[in-house]
């Protein structure tokens, strides 16, 4: 079996998007700044490390050069311009009475284009706003409507765990997270407990979901009727973290046993009608 080929992983500084590259000849350390080729021209990215698990269909980009003092100075100037442009753009949004929230502004490294990321509950007709901004900044203007999770990825912050947002630090792409993942992990369905700062379901719900499902396959489904100490008992909960399960006997008594013991109990009925898996 051929050895899986590694790829350099880096994140664009302005929006934390993940990029992949072939491992170059020159040495790159984690945290090194490089200038890469993007669809919008050259941009600065920070090297995260090397990945051997990225899919074979990922789009490989090109490292143009190591970031030098001139690039850093240009980035610093652009950040100052972005700060000034933010206030101007807010005033223009108010002028056109647009129901949108400006998230960030980015001047690209080659000074050819400016992107304005915003969120909104509905589609926004920003054609007049684009004309205003183009007349002020004399550049190509792109307004891009992004979602709440993309906003969190850009602005950064700390989750309820006390660590940096997953979307900002370790997630290569924002894949769907579903309420079924929380149910499969026996989590309380209180939205304040399983939602992140963005208001969407926590990214971390997806991390161990596959493992939970694989382990649960080895045991009867919740809702199954088993024989326990010569009596019928209903399996009400399988707790993977504690490696315990809860049974409700026909005498309405709740009993906790280990999953190892559960695996040896005879199943009378695989699942009670109307109960979820």
Q: What is the pLDDT of residues 6-44, one digit of tens each?
A: 788 888 988 888 888 887 777 788 889 999 998 888 999
Task: Name, in order, each residue with C-beta under 8 angstroms of 221's C-beta and a sequence gap of 6 or more.
Answer: 235, 270, 271, 277
Instruction: State pTM to two decimals.
Output: 0.75
Q: Which three-class secondary structure state does DSSP give residue 122?
A: coil
Cα angle: 195, vertex 188, 210; to 5 degrees: 75
E strands, the chain, are: 7-12, 18-22, 33-38, 41-51, 62-66, 101-107, 113-119, 140-145, 225-228, 231-239, 244-249, 254-258, 267-269
Please say whether the beta carbons of 53 and 78 come within 8 A.
Answer: no
**Confidence (pLDDT) at 2:** 45
pLDDT digits (tens, 9 = 90+) for 170-217: 666 677 889 999 988 888 888 888 898 888 898 888 888 888 888 888
Going along the chain from its start, the domains and CATH numbers come out as: 7-67 (no CATH), 71-146 (3.30.300), 162-210 (no CATH), 220-269 (2.30.30)
- What dihedral do alpha carbons 221, 225, 227, 228 form, nearest 10°? 70
């Amino acid at each position: 079996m051929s050895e899986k080929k590694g790829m350099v992983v880096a994140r664009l500084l302005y929006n934390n998007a993940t990029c992949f590259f072939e491992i170059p000849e020159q040495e790159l350390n984690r945290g090194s700044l490089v200038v890469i080729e993007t669809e919008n021209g050259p941009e600065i990215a920070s090297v995260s490390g090397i990945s051997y698990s990225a899919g074979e269909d990922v789009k490989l980009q090109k490292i143009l050069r190591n970031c030098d003092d001139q690039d850093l100075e240009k980035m610093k100037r652009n950040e100052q311009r972005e700060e000034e442009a933010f206030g101007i753009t807010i005033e223009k949004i108010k002028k056109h009475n647009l129901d949108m929230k400006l998230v960030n502004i980015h001047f690209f490294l080659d000074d050819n284009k400016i992107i304005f990321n915003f969120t909104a509950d509905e589609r926004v007709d920003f054609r007049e706003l684009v004309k205003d901004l183009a007349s002020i900044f004399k550049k190509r203007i792109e307004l891009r409507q992004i979602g709440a999770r993309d906003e969190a990825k850009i602005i950064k912050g700390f989750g309820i765990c006390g660590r940096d947002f997953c979307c900002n630090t370790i997630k290569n792409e924002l894949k769907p997270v579903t309420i079924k993942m929380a149910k499969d992990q026996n989590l309380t369905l209180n939205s304040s407990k399983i939602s992140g700062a963005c208001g969407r379901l926590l990214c971390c719900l997806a991390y161990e979901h596959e493992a939970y499902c694989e382990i649960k396959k080895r045991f009867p489904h919740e809702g199954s009727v088993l024989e326990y100490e010569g009596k019928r008992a209903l399996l009400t909960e399988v707790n993977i973290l504690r490696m315990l399960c809860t049974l409700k006997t026909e005498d309405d008594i709740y009993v906790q046993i280990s999953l190892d013991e559960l695996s040896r109990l005879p199943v009378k009925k695989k699942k009670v009608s109307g109960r979820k898996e």
